Amino acid sequence: KKESVETVQLASETDQLNITFYPEGGTIIPELASKVGFYVTDKLGNPVHIEGEIRDSQNQPIYPVKTFRKGFGFCLLKAARNVRYSLHITKGQGKNQQFQLPQTNTTGSSLSIAKTDAEFFWLNLSFADQSGHKISVMASQGAEVYWAVDLQINGTGLLKVPVAELPRGIVL
């Protein structure tokens, strides 16, 4: 009779978790409400369900958060200038662990899709410095340009893009 021994690592409730944050548009801009996605894994890289809250630099709860699907979650955040935010896990695996969200960007810009329907989709364009910016937005596929516009954005703007002019697989 042969005997076999195999060592298996198991994650425990107290193991340090890993969280990666994904701010909508790539950056958190102060005074602008935006989504911040996050992905939570255990030390083995397995997705983890968490519940917690976003807290400000005074440790005051701002928004409740939880993962909704295989380690993925998001929160809505309207970050104040010069305030740091963190995610605090309040239930289950990783309880009492905390993670710093990315700092706000006072010089960056953000682009996100605000709304879509059969005729149009709307882009939110925002600049942290709230000053005027001349920009160009182009929709293309390969070398073919299907739609383009030059415009002036003062801080934040909403751009309406006609869907009928765009083929599937378009890149902005």
User: Residues 101-119: pLDDT tens digits?
Assistant: 999 888 878 888 877 888 8
Question: Where do the DSSP E strands lie in the chain?
Answer: 18-23, 33-41, 51-55, 61-69, 72-78, 86-91, 98-100, 109-116, 120-127, 132-141, 144-154, 156-162
Higher pLDDT, 152 or 117: 152
Higher pLDDT, 50 or 158: 50
Percent above pLDDT 70 for the chain: 94
User: Residues 16-72: pLDDT tens digits?
Assistant: 999 999 998 788 988 888 889 999 999 999 999 999 999 999 999 999 999 999 999
Residue range 135-152: mean pLDDT, rounded: 88
The reported pLDDT for the residue numbered 17 is 96
Specify the pTM. Answer: 0.74
